[in-house]
Amino acid sequence: MNILVTGAGGFVGRNLVENLKCIRDGKNRTRPALSIEEIYEYDRENTQEQLEEWCSKADFVFNLAGVNRPKDPKEFKEGNFGFASTLLDTLKKQGNKCPVMLSSSLQATLAGRFGTSEYGLSKRDGEELFFRYAEETGAKVYVYRFPNLAGKWVRPNYNSAVGTFCHNIAHDLPITVNDPSVELELLFIDDLLEEMYNALEGHPHRAEYPGEGEVYEGKTYDGLTPRPASEGRYCYAPITHKVTLGRIVELLRTFHDQPQTLMMPAIP
C-alpha cells in the first residue's frame, strides 16, 4: 500500500508519518493487516508535479494540510478549501478513486461559540467539497472533526492550548486563563492515530452530529458531540477526555514543581 500524507510536516502529519514508518519497518506489529510500501510526505515545499505523481500512485490519502492561524483571515479559505480542491482535482486528473481522509474541526459545526468562526466556515466548505467528490467519483471519504488535540510535537502558540500551557510553564513564562471553568474535550495524538489506522483498514468509527438543541433518545445535543451511527456521514475518534482549563493548569504546575516538592499528583 502506498500512502500520501499532505501536511506531513505538521503536528498530526509528523506523528502519523513516523508511526506509519514503524508499521512499514516492522517495529509496530499491532496492525498485521496493514502492508505499507511507500509513504509520500507532501508539504508546502513540495511541487505540483510531485503531488500529481504521488496522487497517481497512492492507495490512500490522508489530507492533513490546512491553515490554523493565518495573518489574514482570507488565508483560511485558501488553505482549508483551496488546497483541498487542488488535491481532489489532481486525484480526478489521475483517475485515482482511492479512499481519502479529511482532517476537519469541531468548529465546522458552527455550534455555540463557533457560530461566526472564519476557520469553522472554511472547514465546513472543505467538508462539503469532499462529500461532493464522493458523490461524483464513488470514492470513499472519511471526514473527521477533531476536538482539541494534545501530544508530542504539538506546537505552542499555534493550535493547542495545552501545548502552549506546557511550553510556557516549562519555561517559566506567564499564561493567560480567562475562565478556569471552561471545559475542553481533548484527543491525544496516539488515540487519534489508532483511529486513523482504523480508517486505513476500512472500518472507521462513524457518527452524525445532531444540531444544537436537537433531542435524540431523550438526550439534548450541543451540536458538538458526535452520535455514533453505523452509516454516519462523519467519522470520529471514540476516546477523548474532558477537563477544565483550571485543572489542566493545576496539573502542569504540579509536574513543574515536582523537583522541589517531591510530590506526585494523584493518579486515579
Say if residue 89's pLDDT is above 90: yes
> Does residue 252 belong to any structural domain of this protein?
yes
- Same domain for 170 and 112, yes or no, is no
Q: Which residues constitute the domain of residue 179?
A: 147-187+238-268
- Same domain for 23 and 129, yes or no, is yes
- Same domain for 257 and 178, yes or no, is yes
Alpha helix positions (H), the chain? 11-24, 48-57, 74-77, 83-93, 118-137, 161-170, 189-200, 245-261
Say if residue 70's pLDDT is above 60: no
Strand order across the beta sheet in which 100-105 lies: 38-42, 2-6, 60-63, 100-105, 141-146, 234-235, 206-208, 227-228
pLDDT at 51: 97
- Same domain for 10 and 116, yes or no, is yes
- Same domain for 65 and 26, yes or no, is yes
Is 87 strand, coil or helix?
helix
- Same domain for 125 and 174, yes or no, is no
Q: Three cell numbers at 113?
A: 461559540
- Same domain for 73 and 158, yes or no, is no
- Same domain for 8 and 38, yes or no, is yes
Q: Three cell numbers at 188?
A: 491525544
Q: How far apart are CA 199 and CA 220, in angstroms?
A: 29
- Same domain for 88 and 171, yes or no, is no
Q: Tell me, what amino acid is at 218?
A: G
Q: What is the pLDDT of residues 130-146, one digit of tens each?
A: 999 999 999 999 999 99
More confident residue, 211 or 97: 97
pTM for this one? 0.89
CATH of residue 109: 3.40.50.720
Q: How far apart are CA 143 and CA 134, in angstroms?
A: 11
> Does residue 218 belong to any structural domain of this protein?
no
Angle of helix 118-137 relative to helix 83-93, nearest 10 degrees, comes to: 10
- Same domain for 66 and 141, yes or no, is yes
Q: Number of structural domains, the chain? A: 2
pLDDT at 73: 53
- Same domain for 24 and 125, yes or no, is yes
- Same domain for 56 and 180, yes or no, is no
Q: How far apart are CA 231 and CA 146, in angstroms?
A: 19
> Does residue 222 belong to any structural domain of this protein?
no
Please identify every residue annotated as catalytic.
Answer: 119
pLDDT at 218: 80
pLDDT at 4: 98
Say if residue 80's pLDDT is above 70: no
